Amino acid sequence: MQLKVNGTLRDVDVEPDTPLLWVIREELGLTGTKYGCGIAQCGACTVLVDGQPTRSCITPAEMVEGTEIKTIETVEDTETGRKVVEAWVEHQVPQCGYCQSGQVLAATALLAGTPAPSDEDIDVAMVNLCRCGTYNKIRAAVRAASEA
Amino acid sequence: MTEMSFPGSRPLNLSRRGFLSGTAGLVLATALPLRPARAQEAAAEAGPPVPLFLAIRPDGTAVLQSPFIEGGQGIYTALTQIVGEELDLDPAQFEVVPAPPGAPYDVMGGFRFTGGSSSVRSSYELMRRLGASGRAMLIEAAAARLGVPASELTTKPGLVVHAASGRETGYGDLSEAAMELAVPADVALRDPADFRWIRAGLKRLDIRGKSTGQAAYAIDVEVEGMLSAAVQHAPRLGLGPASVTNLAEIEAMRGVHSVHLLDGAVAVVADRFWQARRAVEAAEVEWQETGAEWPLPADFSSDGYRASLLAQDGPGLEVEAEGDAGAALAGAGTVIEAVYGAPFLAHGQLEPPSATARFNADGTLDLWLPNQAPEMFLAAAAETAGIDPSQVTIHSQMLGGFFGRHFLYRTANPFPQAIQLAKATGRPVKLVWTREEEFLRDAVRPLGTARFRGAVMADGSLALSAEVLGEGPTGRWYNAPAGEDGSAHEGLTGKPYAIPNRRIGHVYADNPAVIGYWRSVGHSMHDFFYEGFLDELAEAAGRDPFEMRQALVAGSPRHVTLLSEVGKLSGGWQRGPYQAEDGSTRARGVAMASPFGSEVATIAEISVDGGEIRVHRVWVAIDPGSIVNPAIIEAQVQSAVALGLSQTLVEEYIYEDGAPAARNFDSYDILRPDQMPEVHVAIVESGAPMGGIGEPGLPGVGPAVANAAAALTGRRFRTLPLSGHDLSAG
Ligand code: FES
Ligand code: FES
């Protein structure tokens, strides 16, 4: 099948129900997207599908044919993504960093749709787990990026 | 416990020995006298020296071989601050890589740990000397080049300067000549008053890579020609596979290379991990009892184990005592008794464990894996592979969280399986444990419980007797004898309070589960027990818990300061209940802890909403003696508070019928973003010997929250997690 990832159409030869996560990591070699739980609990595997944050570990590849898939590797291609990354650096958000690809993409999607989010908007959008407990820095960085 | 003195702490010049392949220039090694961070309580022999390396490249940048592994605690950055300060090189000019373990580095071969919050404090002086030695050699090389006495030369970042003639030479131009020089016997260290980078909140080196998906972890390793593997572990430790009844079907699945019966697991090797996983999960396995070293009894359960602990008689081995607690309690008017407890816990680091193994044509083995103790992994890998340790190369990877998960725990590390699979297939193999298989084999924080008896004496002093029941990880993994295993009682012992009659006993009892270190180890539960009971004594005495603690530490200026700092930070102590601006009724609790050489005082503010505790704010005053990077400390305290709160509110790893009930985050809750409180941190530098940073923020959180809950509801919560109690009933 063909998947459009980071702007490029890629041919992949996988079982149609292979989770997008493993197509991205193993077939396309883009390892910035992480495996944490495999059951849509943690959000480490978040990618953007047509701009929507999507848990790729439970998303069958066949379901996203014909969509625009964006992974962390190209997050800085958009103005919003750049702002988010800069805010992440400025606020020194990551600790171990393992959850952060997903956090950065979730924030980018939020701000792309809602440039000036309320606290509630942030609560609703930023639900990925972080075992290192960077939640306060994440919130501060989202705020900063929205004001940048 | 004696500090090991190590004669070779003067750095050696190793440039010509080619230890840093691909790096020309000055290479210095020093040896770090390291007491195994946890095994120190075990009175185990101190580990042999561990060298660390500093290289200055011709372009003037430096490569630092870190003896400690980065897992988000900011160790790499802290090391560049310390070395850079003395070397006179901007920390931003460093690249830090994990130092390789063991042979052929014949000056190495010792043990080292990234744990016990010990990385910076154990290496601080030596890292300074390493940098200062490098600077002295660069100056000497410049003196020869310029034909001036070394005494006329100074440095500024990255440059040797001859002020008299206005000439400057970059470190990179000097590194080759400096390489020829002997390491000076004595070097002067910079006056702390002149520090530029030590004590500054420098930005971390690894942040941008971690914000853009560029940071690579063990799970991202790819080596040429590798296959991927997944396992299905036996549902209970002690069982092994007798057969796979649908073997032909599994072997025929797409991408499958081979199916393997391992010790306690079935593995499928395939072209892709997803194919391996799908196949191994489809495998129908017949399990049978094996002669495993630690079989988990078929009827093992958390509840049963807790009951068996409580059935043990005291008083246990005395691990701390003063005065005569027994006599005091016998003569006391009212004796208060209480039993506290905490459950097993999973590490839940977000990166599932993995290992990649490759046998090379010459019979040597390369291993890529997460680990907190490379030399130990190296020795164990060599044993598994049946080869000499000199033939094994360990590639330590950035850790996607650790919290104690990546020590060597037999049955809990994937690398022995990866080695077997690489051997069996003749190909490099990357094995990843799924989250479910990880939950099944994690080395868990032990379930613990303690019995207290205490009294307020006629003169107002306290008497206290505590018995802690169970087994600690240092006893399990480093053979600490009962009575000398600090991990089994720390947090009940080592408290700062003046209690003239007290006795702490450890009643040793085997734990059938595979137990491990978990962030702040024994402190993670024992401080909760102790500080809760102390509040009960305050109540019995009719005293405010904050004021009573002030009185109990009155003889220790360090603790007096710390308590008053946390009080100030919170806007002045108030216990409550009181009405907050948002209309909620709130209360506060306070707790103190003395973990890993640091001192911590914590205040938490809570309300109860719909029967659930909501933690609004946590204030932490931490005194690590002296500091390297305040921004990293603040981040580590935030992180420790989150994990402490997670175990206080929601975490519980439950065994039923010989197996864990939870196999993933859908049935094992961890702290969510909406449960994170505001966290305010005050750093106090008392000048005491440097303490740890990564763990100390954790132990005070549980008791501060539980004590606040008592203030709010009038009820005592003596077991964790608090979600196990119905708070609406109060
Ligand atoms: S890996 Fe997809 S949500 Fe956890
Ligand atoms: S930074 Fe480690 S899990 Fe979020």
Residue B580 CA to ligand 1 centre (angstroms): 37
Q: What is the C-alpha to C-alpha distance for residues A46 and A55, in angstroms, rounded to an integer? A: 5
> Looking at beta carbons, which residues of chain B come within 8 Å of A126?
673
Residue with token string 């947090």? B491
Q: How much of chain B, in percent, has pLDDT values that exceed 70?
A: 90
At B166, the amino acid letter reads G
Closest residue of B to A119, CA-based?
B674
3 state SS of A143: helix
Q: Say which CATH architecture domain A2-73 belongs to.
A: Roll (3.10)
Q: To the nearest whole number, what is the mean pLDDT of chain B?
A: 89
CB-based contacts of B288, cutoff 8 Å, min separation 6: B239, B240, B241, B242
Q: Are B634 and B617 in contact (CB under 8 A)?
A: no
* Residue B724 half-sphere exposure toward CB, CA atoms < 13 A: 16
| Global ipTM | 0.98
pLDDT (mean) for B431-435: 98
- Of A25, A33, A34, A41, the one to substitute when testing ligand 1's pocket (max ligand atoms within 8 A of C-beta) is A41
In this structure, what token pair is assigned to residue B524? 């993670």
Q: What is the C-alpha to C-alpha distance for residues A46 and A29, in angstroms, rounded to an integer? A: 16
The model's pLDDT over B213-236, given as tens digits with 9 standing for 90+, comes to 999 999 999 999 999 999 999 999
Q: Band the pLDDT of B101: cuts 50, 70, 90.
A: low
Q: What is the C-alpha to C-alpha distance for residues B152 and B168, in angstroms, rounded to an integer? A: 12
Report CA A88 to chain centroid distance, whole Å. Answer: 14
Q: Which of B180-189, B206-215, B357-366 has the lowest mean pLDDT?
A: B180-189
Residue B11 has pLDDT above 80, yes or no: no
pLDDT tens series, chain A, 148 aa: 999 999 999 999 999 999 999 999 999 999 999 999 999 999 999 999 999 999 999 999 999 999 999 999 999 999 999 999 999 999 999 999 999 999 999 999 999 999 999 999 999 999 999 999 999 999 999 999 999 8
Q: DSSP secondary-structure letter at B714?
A: S
The model's pLDDT over B551-609, given as tens digits with 9 standing for 90+, comes to 999 999 999 999 999 999 999 999 999 999 999 999 999 999 999 999 999 999 999 99
- pLDDT computed for residue A7 by the predictor: 97
Residue A135 CA to ligand 2 centre (angstroms): 9
CB-based contacts of B193, cutoff 8 Å, min separation 6: none
Q: Are B398 and A100 in contact (CB under 8 A)?
A: no
CATH code linked to domain A75-147: 1.10.150.120
Among A15, A18, A98, most B C-beta atoms within 10 A, so best to mutate, is A98
- pLDDT computed for residue B40 by the predictor: 33
- pLDDT computed for residue B729 by the predictor: 53
b/e B549-559 (16+ beta carbons within 10 angstroms → b): bbebbeeeebb
pLDDT (mean) for B62-85: 86
Q: What is the C-alpha to C-alpha distance for residues B507 and B546, in angstroms, rounded to an integer? A: 31
In this structure, what token pair is assigned to residue A81? 């993504």
Ligand number, closest to the Cα atom of B206: 2
pLDDT (mean) for B441-464: 97
Among A131, A134, A139, A142, most B C-beta atoms within 10 A, so best to mutate, is A131
CB pair distance less than 8 Å for B666 and A127: no
Q: Which of B199-208, B268-277, B299-308 has the lowest mean pLDDT?
A: B199-208
Closest residue of B to A100, CA-based?
B211
Domains of chain B: 32-211 (3.30.365.10), 218-293+353-432 (3.30.365.10), 303-344+445-724 (3.30.365.10)
CB pair distance less than 8 Å for A38 and B664: yes
Q: DSSP secondary-structure letter at A24?
A: I
Q: Which of B228-242, B430-444, B473-487, B704-718 has the lowest mean pLDDT?
A: B473-487
- pLDDT computed for residue B120 by the predictor: 74
Residue B285 has pLDDT above 90, yes or no: yes
Write down the H helix ranges in B505-593. 523-541, 545-552, 557-569
Residue with token string 């890292």? B127
Closest CA to B355 of B286, B433, B303, B427: B433
User: Which atom of ligand 1 is nearest to A38's Cα?
Assistant: 1
Q: Band the pLDDT of B126: cuts 50, 70, 90.
A: confident
Q: Are A132 and B74 in contact (CB under 8 A)?
A: no
> Looking at beta carbons, which residues of chain B come within 8 Å of A132?
72, 350, 401, 639, 642
β-bridge partners, B395:
B368
Residue B488 has pLDDT above 50, yes or no: yes
pLDDT (mean) for B274-280: 98
Q: Band the pLDDT of B651: cuts 50, 70, 90.
A: very high
- pLDDT computed for residue B13 by the predictor: 47
Q: How do beta strands A52-55 and A46-49 pair?
A: antiparallel
b/e B221-235 (16+ beta carbons within 10 angstroms → b): beeeebbbbbbbbbe
b/e B301-315 (16+ beta carbons within 10 angstroms → b): bbeebbeebeeeeeb
Residue B651's alpha-carbon distances to B348, B453, B565, B648, B665, in angstroms, are 10, 28, 30, 7, 10
CB-based contacts of B325, cutoff 8 Å, min separation 6: B463, B464, B465, B501, B502, B503
**DSSP character string of B590-620:** EEEE--TT-EEEEEEEEEEETTEEEEEEEEE
Q: Are B81 and B202 in contact (CB under 8 A)?
A: yes
The model's pLDDT over B512-551, given as tens digits with 9 standing for 90+, comes to 999 999 999 999 999 999 999 999 999 999 999 999 999 9
- pLDDT computed for residue B130 by the predictor: 84
Residue B494 has pLDDT above 90, yes or no: yes
Q: How much of chain B, in percent, has pLDDT values that exceed 90?
A: 75
Measured in angstroms, the CA of A66 and the nearest CA of chain B are apart by 23
Q: Band the pLDDT of B730: cuts 50, 70, 90.
A: very low
- pLDDT computed for residue B124 by the predictor: 83
For chain A, the domains span: 2-73, 75-147
Closest residue of B to A99, CA-based?
B350
| Nearest 10 degrees: Cα torsion B264, B266, B270, B274 | -90
Among A25, A35, A101, A138, most B C-beta atoms within 10 A, so best to mutate, is A35
The model's pLDDT over B138-192, given as tens digits with 9 standing for 90+, comes to 999 999 999 999 999 999 999 999 999 999 999 999 988 887 777 777 788 999 9
**DSSP character string of B400-469:** S--TTTTS--TTT-SHHHHHHHHHHHTS-EEEE--HHHHHHH--BBPPEEEEEEEEE-TTS-EEEEEEEE
Q: What is the C-alpha to C-alpha distance for residues B33 and B10, in angstroms, rounded to an integer? A: 11
Q: What is the C-alpha to C-alpha distance for residues A67 and A49, in angstroms, rounded to an integer? A: 6
